[in-house]
Each structure stands twice: as C-alpha cells, then as structure tokens.
Amino acid sequence: MSEEKTHMVPYSTQIAALLALLVLTGLSVAITQLEFGGYNTLAAMLLAGAKAVIVLAWYMHLKYEKQLFPVMVAAVFVIFLLVLFVTFFDYSYR
C-alpha cells in the first residue's frame, strides 16, 4: 500500500551483509581442503544455508516485511525438506 511506510536499508548494512557473504564463501572453499569425513557436505550446506538466510533477511528485506512473508518462506522451505525426506523413505531402504 502506498500509504504504508517503506523501510530504507542503509548502504552500510548492505556492505556489511556483502562482507559476511564473502567471508562465508571463503570459508566454504577453505573447508574442502580439510577432512571431516562425511560431514563435509553437511558443513557446506550449513554455510550455504547461512548465506541464504543473509540474502533473504537483508537483501530480500524479509527482516523488515510483515510477519506473513517470513512465515510463508519458511513454510516453503519446510515443504521442500519434507518432500526430500519422504522421497528418501524410498531411496534409503531399497
């Protein structure tokens, strides 16, 4: 609605978010050199997840939107993970 207040994110916040994203990218490249056994993929996904949260919250303004939006986004991710989970009921036990 045009009468609703829009939130302005200062440049400094956006630069800070970018720096955080770049650090996390560096980290995920760096950990491929280390040996965590089966946990490497998990660590890579966690780092990617953290980056996704930064993009969603600051760049896509979810932090500043009405509560409905973050709830819907979370629901979509949950549905995706459930589909993945249910699919693997088949593939894990064949």
Partner 1 sequence: MSDNTNHKEVSYLEYQGKYRGILGWILSTDHKRIGLLYLYTMLLFFSIAAILGLLMKTQLIAPGETIMGPQTYNSFFTLHGIIMIFIIVVPGLPAVFGNFFLPIMIGAKDVAFPRINLLSWWLYIIGILIVLTSQFTGGGPPDTGWTFYAPYSFQTPTNVLPAVFGAFVMGFSSILTGINFVVTIHRMRAPGMKWLRMPLFPWTLYGTAWIQILATPVIGITLMLIIAERMLGIGFFDPALGGDPILYQHLFWIYSHPAVYIMILPAMGVISEIIPVFSRKSIFGYRAIVLSTMAIAFVGYFVWGHHMFTSGMSGRALFTFSFLTFLVAIPSAIKVFNWVATMHKGSLHLHTPFFWALSFLFVFMIGGLTGLVLGALATNVHLHDTHFVVAHFHFIVFGGTGFAFMGAVHYWFPKMFGRMYDANWANLGWGIFFIGFLSLYLPMFFLGMSGMPRRYYDYLPEFHGMNILSSMGAWVMISGILIIFANLIRSARSGPKTTEKNPWGGKTLEWQVDTPPTLENFDEIPAVDKTPYDYRDYAENTNS
Partner 2 sequence: MTIHRDDLADKFGMWLFIFTELLLFGMLFVVYAVYRSMHPEAFRIAGEELDVALGTINTVILLISSATVAMSITAIQKGDKKRCLQLLSITLLIAVIFMVNKYFEWGAKFEYGFYPGSDALAELGHGTILFFGLYFFMTGIHALHILIGIGLFIYVMLQVKKNKIHQTDYIWLENTGLYWHLVDLIWIFLFPLFYLIH
Binding site for partner 2 (CB under 8 A): 1-2, 4, 6, 8-11, 14-15, 17-18, 21-22, 25, 28-29, 31-32, 35, 40-41, 44-45, 47-48, 51-52, 55-56, 58-60, 66, 69, 72-73, 76-77, 79-80, 83-84, 87-88, 91-92
Supply the DSSP symbol for 67: T
Residue 13 neighbours by CB under 8 Å, 6+ apart: 58
* Of residues 22 and 82, the one with the C-beta less far from partner 1: 82
CA separation for the pair 62, 9 (Å, rounded): 12
90 touches partner 1 (CB under 8 A)? yes
CA separation for the pair 22, 18 (Å, rounded): 6
